[in-house]
Structure 1
Amino acid sequence: MKILLTGSSGMVGKNILEHPDAQNHEFLTPGSKELNLLDLQSVRAFFAAHKPDCVIHAAGRVGGIQANMANPVGFLVDNTLMGVHVINSAHEAGVKHLINLASSCMFPRSAANPLQESDILKGELEPTNEGYALAKITATRLCEYISRTDPEAQFSTLIPCNLYGRYDKFDPENSHMIPAVIRKIYEAKVSGSQQVEIWGDGEARREFMYAEDLADFIFISLTSMAKQLPLPELINVGLGQDYSINEYYRAIADVIGYQGEFVHDLNRPVGMRQKLIDSSIANSQGWKADTTLVEGIEKTYRYFVEDVLND
């Protein structure tokens, strides 16, 4: 298929393009100068000119708790506009296949774990990333409405758990937890610091998946679409296992070789206490995440040292 991949320069996009099965398709990977996703006319013109068979919408403004709290307006507005422009313009252009990448932050903060696809919009969202969640819910619902009203359209949403890996962001102001902790512990080791701070008590639990494993499932989904096989409207994609924040810190310290101690700042926000998703639907499609936590951290740390620090 000829596939428009938005967000091709981001972590998920680059892992998709590096996947062995990427050679089976023609990928369109426009930069922001060629395709401004915040400009509806730019998006419509791109679809008219290039006529893709399929879209993978992986673009978005992303960041951890600190970035979301600092700029909720940007996270809500930019992600909403990008999602609506890409998804609706694809439908208007006659595109029949679309994979929308959402986020597990769409689930209610008080929902029972493991989180099931049917839990979305069944309760209050986590306040620390509510703007981002609302934008992702809007895009997800739009896909569902299109699929339900157009029998020929297959617009499916994948809901990955938290991701990390090669091409992640390691900027302390905008990064997610694992790359942020890798940088923090690396810098503590280099400087000789004997203490590293953890926000909260470290007992909140998170599910982090290596980005290559998500790419594997995306290509399974593309194969199903190419064969005209049905895909569910919503599919959780995760490990099926979570770890505490303290466990992530210890695992990263072990990989880096840091021998100091951890101290907890109980005045810092920690977000949801647990966010483990039920990936049984994805598993039923013949997929399972293969990368262990230690393997993923080792690969990500190697990328940080060899590529990010030497850039």
Structure 2
Amino acid sequence: MSNTSTTPLINPSDRIFVAGHRGMAGSAICRALQRKGYAYILTATRQELDLEDAVAVRAWFEANKPQVVVLAAAKVGGIHANDTYPADFLLQNLKIQNNVIESAWRTGTRRLLFLGSSCIYPRACPQPIKEEYLLTGPLEPTNEWYAIAKIAGIKLCQALRIQHGFDAISLMPTNLYGPGDNYHPENSHVMAAMIRRFHEAKNANADSVTCWGTGTPLREFLHVDDLGEACVHVLEAYHVDLYEPNQHLNVGTGVDLTIKELADTVARVVGFSGEILWDVSKPEGTPKKQLDVGRLSALGWQSRIPLRQGLDRTYREFTQTYQ
């Protein structure tokens, strides 16, 4: 991997298309780009552009000619959603990725950043997880459909780079939280689900809250504004050699905690003082998932928002939106 380039790989005058700009990750990336002075940010709502429609996506790219693309659009969800809608998670994500990445390449986009997920790695791989552990073992069954789609996106970027010299790079975030998260009672990720559950329990003066599993799995959490800053940093600085075997980069804090510790922290932030119960009949995913972020750190980037500070901010934002 090359070190930080002395010449930025993107410029303030570039037209930058952020696909999925209304989502949690996409909106954070837009905020980070604006803070850094990038003024020509292209966006399209789902009503304006269906990313699953290959013909529409190609026409949009032909008309708008973005010079830089950030692909943050995806169908996402927690364990329940992945288990309930496996075909949706695989088909929709494959369509979105293939359409955007291929159209960007064919219409002359200079640089593309594809956002994946830490769930791409094998369930039982060594910890912390290095980029080279990709495809070294079986995936976690509770999110394999989403993971397979994201692996396909990584490999499509790599294949286009090798065969056609297309400057497509990939960033694999750990578990995200923050403004714009999905707080659906069944289809949300663990952090958002806990915030909503403890908030509703506090308001109802409930004696207890029941969480899934044993509380023992270890997870790492990154505030989405940290992710936004990481994306801009990588777009500006990460130059990858053509045949480098591991072209994607992990992004996270490098620090994890148990789900039980997370539940205790969320309860304190929310102000819920009741008992926390655990339903051990429910699935809880892989036992530990902590990313090795050494390669990104070597490029000069590290997360800046501690978990408790980020949770305080997130809960304030939640109470302003979900009353």
Q: TM-score higher than 0.5 here? A: yes
| Residue of structure 2 in register with 1:5 after alignment | 18
Partner SS, residue 99 of structure 1: strand
Give, in whole Å, the separation in 2 of the partners of 1:224 and 1:256: 38
Task: Mark the runs of 5 or more structure 2 residues left unpaired by the alignment.
Answer: 1-13
- Corresponding residue number in structure 1 for 2:201: 188
User: For the Cα contact (< 8 Å) 2:237–2:299, is it kept in 1?
Assistant: no
Does structure 1 residue 147 correspond to structure 2 residue 157?
no
Q: CA deviation at 1:307?
A: 2.1
- Residues 212 and 284, structure 2, Cα contact 8 Å, conserved in 1: yes
Describe the superposition over 1:224-265 as per-residue Cα deviations: whole angstroms up to 9, x where unpaired.
Answer: 27xxx4477210000001010000001111111111111111
Is 1:202 paired with 2:215?
yes
Once residues 139 and 237 of structure 1 are traced to their aligned partners in structure 2, the CA distance between those partners, rounded to angstroms, is 17
Residue 97 (structure 1) shift: 0.3
| 1:241–1:276 Cα contact (<8 Å) kept | yes
1:22 positional shift: 5.1
8 Å contact from structure 2 (residues 18, 30) kept in 1: no
SS at match of 1:125: coil
Out of 216, 238, 249, the residue aligned to residue 235 of structure 1 is 249
1:32 aligns with 2:46: yes
Alignment-derived partner of residue 271 in structure 2: 257
Unaligned runs of 5+ in 1: none
Q: Which residue of 1 aligns with 2:314?
A: 300
In 2, Cα distance between equivalents of 1:308 and 1:158: 30
- After superposition, give the CA deviation of every residue in 1:140-169 in whole Å (9 maximum; x if it has no partner): 100011111223x21000000010001111
How far apart, in 1, do the equivalents of 2:66 and 2:271 lie?
A: 47
Residue correspondence of structure 1 range 15-26 to structure 2 within 5 A:
15-19=28-32, 20-21=34-35, 23-26=37-40
Query: After the TM superposition, which of the residue ranges 16-25 and 192-201 deviates more from structure 2?
Result: 16-25
Find the aligned partners of 1:42 and 1:116 in 2 and give their Cα distance: 37
Q: Which residue of 1 aligns with 2:106?
A: 92
User: Which of these residues, 72, 87, 94, is aligned with residue 58 of structure 1?
Assistant: 72
Query: CA–CA distance in 2 between the matches of 1:68 and 1:289?
Result: 28
- Structure 1 segments of 4+ aligned residues over 6 angstroms from their partners: none
SS in 1 for 2:113: strand
- Percent of aligned positions with the same letter in both sequences? 37
Structure 1 partner of 2:305? 291
Note the C-alpha offset of 1:285. 1.0
1:7 maps to amino acid = G
Deviation of residue 222 (structure 1)? 2.4
User: In 2, distance between residues paired with 1:274 and 1:137?
Assistant: 20
- 1:25, CA displacement in angstroms? 3.8
Whether 1:276 aligns to 2:272 is: no
| TM value normalised by structure 1 | 0.95
Q: Note if 1:77 corresponds to 2:91.
A: yes
Aligned length, in residue pairs? 305
Deviation of the 1:280 alpha carbon: 0.5
Select the residue among 109, 122, 126 that pairs with 2:140: 126
Aligned-pair RMSD on alpha carbons? 1.3
- CA 61–22 in structure 1, closer or farther in 2 if over 3 Å, else same: farther
Corresponding residue for residue 179 of structure 2: 166
Bigger CA drift: 64-73 or 256-265?
256-265
Give the TM-score normalised by structure 2: 0.92
- Distance in structure 1 (CA, Å) of the matches to 2:83 and 2:203: 30
Residue of structure 1 in register with 2:237 after alignment? 224
| Per-residue Cα deviation, 1:100-128 (whole angstroms, up to 9, x for no partner) | 00001100001011111111111111111
Residue 5 of structure 2: aligned partner: none
Cα separation, 1, equivalents of 2:157 and 2:293: 20
- How big is the shift at 1:86? 0.7
Alignment partner, residue 179 of structure 1: 192
CA distance in 2, matches of 1:256, 1:109: 32
